[in-house]
Structure 1
Amino acid sequence: MSNPDSFIDEVTDEVRRDRLFAMFRKYGWIGGLLVVLIVGGAAFNEWQKHRATVRAQAFGDAMMDALDLGGAAERRQAIAGIPADGAQVALKELMLASDPAGDKAGALQALDAILADSSLPVAYRDIAALRRVMVAGADMPLADRRALLEGVAVPGRPLRVLAQEQLAYLLLEDGKKDEAIAALSALVVDQESPSGLKARAGQAITALGGTPPEAVKAG
């Protein structure tokens, strides 16, 4: 390469470096800001996780202290006074509904509060629906109980088979024994049914004069 060409290349490289340094001086603060934001965001996330852990521990400790109290009325009063947010609200309401013999109206009110809160996870509302049907019993019209359970018994819901079990018992309550036996038999061979449910369904079928099908083993 000739000397003139070499000189031109050197000048060109120098101009490029000057432009690069000028860009760094002009826009380098953006990179610094990004670093600050990334580090600050990570620190904020860790702080949020720590705060959530502390809050969950405080909620659990308060709940255990309330459950250790002697009388049912004292326990309910203590549980009702525990600060809660998010999913903790559902857990709190479920605990308030755990003693229907002592306060059936209060238990139903707590369950209705969960069912009415669409911001809560589906699993909590499904538990409340099942519990609501069982606590209310015959005080709740059969059609209303069936409608509530049918919303839980759809494919993909976490408590589907438990809701279907309760629906089978509603068929029996409605005088439809053969349909109840068929519904219970379907649960016996349903691979999603836990062993305890299969055993209950088989016993119910036998008690109704039917013959339980052979359970299908998962896998």
Structure 2
Amino acid sequence: MSDTDSFIEEVSEEVRRDRLYGVFRKYGWIAVSAVVLIVGGASYNEYRKAQTTATAEATGDALINALDANEAEARIEALQMATLEASEAEVVRQFLVSSEQVTSGDTAAAAASLENFLNSAPETSQIYKDIAELKALLLAGDDISRDDRRARLELLAQPGAPLALIASEQIALLDIEAGETAAAIERLQGLIVDAGATAGLRQRASQLIVALGGEPETLPSLATAQ
């Protein structure tokens, strides 16, 4: 390579270097900002996770400490007074309170606690509302008229609802209570052949049908096996 070529190459390299530095000076802040945002975002994410964990732990400790009392009445009071940092845990508190009220023998108060929860917790997940509704109905018993119980159970027994089968079983019991044996047997037969029914539910339905003088349905799979 001649001296002239070497000189031209060196000059070209200097020009490219100057251009690169110029680009860095002009746009380098973008890269720095991007790095700051990435690092800052990751740090904030970790902070949020730590805060969530701390809140959950504090809430769990508050509930556990409340349950350490020896008497049910004391546990109920401690649960009601406990400070829950996680608002989502309110449903857990209400279920625990109602459970302790049942333990103390006050089923009416337990049902009332769940009813109050249903009326004051619009943002709670539907599944928890359905569970509270069913428990409240079971605990209240005859304190709620048969027609009202049926109407509320019918809503829980809608096809596809998570508690549909259990609610349907309770409606069958209302049919029996009202002397509507044929309707009760028909509903119980439907429970036996329902694919979502548990073994325990099928057994209870079969026993009730026999007690009512009926003949339980046989599951298709069992009939084929025989």
Same fold, TM-score > 0.5, yes or no: yes
- CA gap 1:66/1:31 in 2 versus in 1, 3 angstroms: same
- CA gap 1:67/1:216 in 2 versus in 1, 3 angstroms: farther
Q: Retained in 1: the 8 A contact 2:169–2:188?
A: yes
Deviation at 1:56, TM superposition (A): 2.4
1:104 matched to 2:107? The reply is: yes
TM-score, normalised to structure 1, is 0.79
- CA gap 1:178/1:92 in 2 versus in 1, 3 angstroms: same
Deviation at 1:147, TM superposition (A): 2.4
Give the whole-Å Cα distance in 1 for the aligned partners of 2:158 and 2:28. Answer: 56
Residues 168-177 or 40-49, more deviating? 40-49
1:118 matched to 2:122? The reply is: yes
Question: Which of the numbers 204, 209, 221 marks the counterpart of 1:205?
Answer: 209
Aligned residue type for 1:86: S
- CA gap 1:34/1:68 in 2 versus in 1, 3 angstroms: same
Aligned residue type for 1:54: A
Q: Retained in 1: the 8 A contact 2:108–2:139?
A: no
Residues 159-168 or 178-187, more deviating? 159-168
Q: Retained in 2: the 8 A contact 1:87–1:121?
A: no
Give the whole-Å Cα distance in 1 for the aligned partners of 2:28 and 2:154. Answer: 61
Give the whole-Å Cα distance in 2 for the aligned partners of 1:91 and 1:80. Answer: 11
Structure number with greater Rg is 2
1:147 matched to 2:148? The reply is: no
Give the whole-Å Cα distance in 1 for the aligned partners of 2:88 and 2:220. Answer: 36
Q: Retained in 2: the 8 A contact 1:96–1:106?
A: no
Q: Retained in 2: the 8 A contact 1:114–1:124?
A: no
Q: Could you report, residue by residue, the CA deviation over 1:166-210 in whole angstroms, capped at 9, with x for unpaired residues?
A: 122122223221111111111111111122211111111111111
Question: Which of the numbers 138, 141, 147 marks the counterpart of 1:137?
Answer: 141
More helix by share: 2
Give the whole-Å Cα distance in 2 for the aligned partners of 1:92 and 1:216. Answer: 43
Deviation at 1:130, TM superposition (A): 0.6
- CA gap 1:57/1:205 in 2 versus in 1, 3 angstroms: farther
Question: Which of the numbers 173, 176, 181 marks the counterpart of 2:180?
Answer: 176
Residues 63-72 or 25-34, more deviating? 25-34
TM-score, normalised to structure 2, is 0.77
Give the whole-Å Cα distance in 2 for the aligned partners of 1:171 and 1:157. Answer: 21
Partner of 1:80: 80
Give the whole-Å Cα distance in 1 for the aligned partners of 2:67 and 2:220. Answer: 40
Task: State the percentage of identical aligned residues.
Answer: 40
Secondary structure of residue in 1 paired with 2:94:
helix
Q: How does 1:38-49 map to 2 (within 5 A)?
A: 38-49=38-49
Question: Could you list the runs of 5+ residues in structure 2 that have no partner in the other structure?
Answer: 1-7, 222-226
Q: Retained in 2: the 8 A contact 1:188–1:215?
A: yes
Secondary structure of residue in 2 paired with 1:55:
helix
Deviation at 1:95, TM superposition (A): 0.9
Residues 200-209 or 155-164, more deviating? 155-164
Partner of 2:29: 29
Give the whole-Å Cα distance in 2 for the aligned partners of 1:93 and 1:191. Answer: 32
Deviation at 1:115, TM superposition (A): 1.7
Q: Retained in 2: the 8 A contact 1:72–1:102?
A: no
